[in-house]
Amino acid sequence: MSDDLPDPTVPDEGVADLPEELPPPTEEEIQPDSFLVTTGFLRAGDGPVQLPVGAKGMAYTAAEADAAARGFFDALAGERELEHDLADPVEHVRSNGLLLLFSEGVAELFETHLVAMPPGNQERWRDLIAGGARSEAFGPLTLQERLDERQVETNLVLGRRQRLVNGVVGVVIISALMASGWWAYQEFGIEAQRERGALQFEATDQPATEAALEGGPPAAQPALTAGITDTVAVLAGVGPVNDRVTTAPFAAYPYPPGALVASLFQYAGAGHIVIVGPTNFADTVCLRASVVTSGLRPLDTVTHGPCVDPVGREPAIGCAGPTALLLALDIPAGQVDLPEGGSGFADAVRVQLIADGGEEYEVLTQRTTIAVDPDSDVRIPRFGGATGDELTFDLGGGKVGTCTLTGDLP
């Protein structure tokens, strides 16, 4: 090493030792025009950032205000690469997110320009610095929303698309609800006011008081014909009836289920039920027929044969024979007032063979119900004949019975 140069490793005896920490500068030593950004997040590039300061007492025009603001923020941005280069300085600062660099020191320097700006320019800058327009009642826009206008546009498109989807879904849901409501109304809503029962007769002008009646031989309507097949047996004893319901063997009945078949007819201007069965069945079993409402409320009940506990009234026997029995029934066409209140229509006929259960059974019956839809076109067929005429009732399925007209009118 040359003898003319000092050795840097040897302390200079003429220079006092420096303290490890320097005292912070005083307020007098910090001047606005000497504000430098040299460290931290605001640091950009290798050199310090010198921000321009507005002269005291200066008044800018609108164009001068824009130029001063643009120059100020260009200096603040330093060597950063900006994504947008916009003519409007406010939008330029907003789009590039330069307010991230806006500290208290920067705000103090920019205030020297703000006070010189026209009111319109000044208000725009103060709104931006405050975080957004004063109309943004729920807070300023987020940085991402300010930085990327394309994202905002994308969000708007997605929002419109979502509203369209929501609208379509809403229409589908409303349509489904309306369809469900209509179905529920049809199923469970208030019935339309009825005027007639389900059991209707074929039209005839024949007076009911004449023994010789119009019409040909009886022809059964299949919809009004049913076999007496349903068995009901309740054991004798005490306790709830439901606990004593059982299935009795066929041998407990005088005839097996289905041996008797019933069908509705119109004769002598009134309703009748014919029962076809084995020879002399009418003399050996208790038979009961009831005209009932849709709720099974009896409107008329007749009983025939050797019954231990007769219920209802004795019917007029229109036709009697070894294998067929014709009993008159009161089948009203219109609405009937019920004794307990309310009203009903003749919608069905229940027929029972009531057997003697002896000491073993409290109830032992075979049953069937003849019913049709009230809105159907099914009509009770009519037939005619004079007293002494022998008639044949063919109820289908090989169930054929014969009887002789008695002349006993309802």
Q: Are 175 and 315 members of one domain?
A: no
In degrees and rounded to multiples of 5, residue 242 shows phi and psi of -60, -30
Residue 55 gets which letter from DSSP?
P
Closest CA to 54 of 114, 12, 95: 114
Q: Are 241 and 345 members of one domain?
A: yes
Q: Which of 188, 211, 237 is the last residue of a domain?
A: 188
Q: Are 155 and 143 members of one domain?
A: no
Determine contact, residues 317/410, Cβ cutoff 8 Å.
Answer: no
Q: Please give the sequence-ordered ranges of beta strands (E in DSSP) within 202-335, or none if there are none.
A: 225-227, 230-235, 245-246, 261-267, 270-276, 286-292, 298-304, 317-320, 324-329
Asked, for residue 276, whether it belongs to a domain, the answer is yes
For 239-249, the pLDDT digits (tens) are: 898 899 998 89
The helices-and-strands tally (H runs, E runs) of the chain is 7, 17
Q: How crowded is residue 288: how many other Cβ atoms within 10 Å of its Cβ?
A: 22
Interatomic CA distance for residues 66 and 87, integer angstroms: 9
Q: Going residue by residue through the chain (410 aa), what tens digit of pLDDT does each one get?
A: 444 544 444 444 444 454 555 565 555 544 444 444 443 334 444 456 688 988 888 899 999 999 999 999 999 888 888 888 899 999 999 888 888 888 888 888 999 998 999 999 989 998 888 875 444 433 444 444 444 555 556 666 777 788 888 888 888 899 888 888 877 776 665 555 777 888 888 876 655 444 446 677 899 999 999 999 999 999 998 889 889 999 889 888 999 999 999 999 998 888 999 999 999 999 999 999 999 998 888 999 999 999 888 888 999 999 999 999 999 999 998 888 888 888 888 899 999 999 988 889 989 999 999 998 888 888 999 898 889 999 999 999 999 999 999 988 88
Interatomic CA distance for residues 405 and 254, integer angstroms: 27
Q: Are 168 and 182 members of one domain?
A: yes
The amino acid sitting at 242 is N
**Cα distances (Å, whole numbers) of residue 146 to 156, 171, 260:** 14, 36, 91
Q: Are 374 and 291 members of one domain?
A: yes
Q: Are 121 and 155 members of one domain?
A: no
Q: Which of 121, 147, 173 is the last residue of a domain?
A: 147
What pLDDT is attached to residue 16? 44
The H or E element spanning position 184 is helix 149-188
Token reading at 139? 């807070």
Strand partners, 329: 271
Determine contact, residues 72/52, Cβ cutoff 8 Å.
Answer: yes
Q: Which residues contact 147 (CB under 8 A, 6 or more apart)?
A: 83, 95, 96, 97
Q: Are 247 and 332 members of one domain?
A: yes
Determine contact, residues 161/169, Cβ cutoff 8 Å.
Answer: no
Q: Are 245 and 354 members of one domain?
A: yes
Asked, for residue 75, whether it belongs to a domain, the answer is yes
Token reading at 58? 């200066």
- Structural domain boundaries enclosing 374: 222-405
Q: How many domains does the chain have?
A: 3
Rounded to whole angstroms, the maximal C-alpha distance in the chain is 165
Q: Are 251 and 141 members of one domain?
A: no
Asked, for residue 15, whether it belongs to a domain, the answer is no
Determine contact, residues 237/244, Cβ cutoff 8 Å.
Answer: yes
Global pTM value: 0.53
Q: Are 260 and 378 members of one domain?
A: yes
Closest CA to 405 of 314, 274, 225: 274
